[in-house]
Amino acid sequence: DGGITQSPKYLFRKEGQNVTLSCEQNLNHDAMYWYRQDPGQGLRLIYYSQIVNDFQKGDIAEGYSVSREKKESFPLTVTSAQKNPTAFYLCASKQAGVWGTQYFGPGTRLLVL
Amino acid sequence: GNSVTQMEGPVTLSEEAFLTINCTYTATGYPSLFWYVQYPGEGLQLLLKATKADDKGSNKGFEATYRKETTSFHLEKGSVQVSDSAVYFCALSDQTGANNLFFGTGTRLTVIP
């Protein structure tokens, strides 16, 4: 089946630790996105990538890093510089072009120990 | 700039009641408009979309009409079911720049039997 997978479903981070969230898509989409969702709030854009080996910061990129070495993969690293990482993280992908629609993965919930 | 203002929740309705969730937007250019739905613990699913003025998006009994004159995209359903209980997000995608999504804060709907 075509779709977007995120792993793990739950992730625990210790103080000072970097953790990496996985996002994979087999939809052959060019663009991929990472969003953060906090309780009672909308989604905020962390990073996005419109093509392999290129990515741009979104509204809340501080404390996060990404890579885009393959078209189907867009991992997000939450670094120790992110002081409030507890949130629900959503990955999305979209076909190129202004008429494309973003499709979302099931999300990863990150908790701090 | 781009922004979406969404009716605050939570909204509680009895089964078979009529639903309206208001959404207004501010955008440069001519955006596409979307409604996404999020069930507990899951990612976002596209519910419906409209790409130009006067278009009506519809799916699963939900519908919304793109009103350029009032910059609105209100979500309606004639008869809600318990299974419609979820959080609903209005979003816009502008047709310039990176074509990213801008989300409202979400409206939680609870339908009681």
What pLDDT is attached to residue B99? 73
Which residues does A84 contact at the CB level (< 8 Å), separation at least 6? none
> Residue A70 has what DSSP assignment?
B
pLDDT in tens, A24-76: 999 999 999 999 999 878 899 999 999 999 999 999 999 999 999 999 999 99
Is 90 exceeded by the pLDDT of residue A78? yes
What pLDDT is attached to residue A113? 82
Is B100 touching A (CB cutoff 8 A)? yes
Mean pLDDT of chain A: 92
In this structure, are residues A56 and A49 in contact, taking their beta carbons and an 8 Å threshold?
Answer: yes
What pLDDT is attached to residue B88? 97
With b for 16 or more beta-carbon neighbours within 10 A and e for fewer, the B78-91 pattern comes to eebeeebbbbbbbb
Omega within 30 of 0 (cis) for the link into B10:
yes
Residue B97 binned pLDDT confidence (cut-offs 50, 70, 90) = low
pLDDT in tens, B56-71: 999 999 999 999 999 9
What distance in Å separates residue B81's CA from the closest CA in chain A? Answer: 23
Omega within 30 of 0 (cis) for the link into A8:
yes
**Is the Cβ pair B45, A104 closer than 8 Å?**
yes
Pairwise pLDDT comparison (B41 vs A7), residue with the higher score: A7
**Is the Cβ pair B106, A58 closer than 8 Å?**
no
Q: At B100, give phi and psi (nearest 5°).
A: -85, 165
What distance in Å separates residue B25's CA from the closest CA in chain A? Answer: 14
pLDDT in tens, A89-103: 999 999 877 667 899
**Is the Cβ pair B44, A104 closer than 8 Å?**
yes
What pLDDT is attached to residue B39? 93
Is 90 exceeded by the pLDDT of residue B25? yes
Closest partner residue to A106 (CB to CB) among B6, B43, B93 is: B43
Q: How many residues does chain A have?
A: 113
What distance in Å separates residue A71's CA from the closest CA in chain B? Answer: 17
Handedness of CA A106, B87, A45, B90 (dihedral sign): positive
Handedness of CA A75, A78, A81, A86 (dihedral sign): positive
**Is the Cβ pair A56, B98 closer than 8 Å?**
yes
